[in-house]
Amino acid sequence: MRRPLLPTLLLACSLALPALAAEPAKTPRPVKRICVNVKDGSRSVQGTDLVIEPGEKVKDAVAVDGNVIVKKGAVVDNDVVAVRGRVVLEAGARVKGDAVALGGDVRVPTGARVDGNATALGGKLKVDKPEDVGGERVNFSLELNGDDLVKELLGKALEDDQKCHILDDEDDKDDKDV
> By percentage, how much of the chain surpasses pLDDT 90?
48
Q: How many CA atoms lie within 13 A of 45 on its CB side?
A: 19
Q: Which has more pLDDT, 107 or 47?
A: 107
Domain boundaries, the chain: 33-161
pLDDT in tens, 99-151: 999 989 999 999 999 999 999 998 899 999 999 999 999 998 877 787 777 77
CATH domain 33-161 topology: Pectate Lyase C-like (2.160.20)
Distance (Å, whole) CA 80 – CA 86: 10
pLDDT greater than 60 at residue 21: no
SS3 115: coil
Q: Which has more pLDDT, 32 or 104?
A: 104
- pLDDT for the residue 145: 81
pLDDT in tens, 63-102: 988 999 999 999 999 999 999 899 999 999 999 999 999 9
Q: Dihedral angle at the C-alpha atoms of 93, 99, 102, 104, nearest 10 degrees? A: 30
Q: Which has more pLDDT, 73 or 32?
A: 73
Q: Which has more pLDDT, 22 or 142?
A: 142
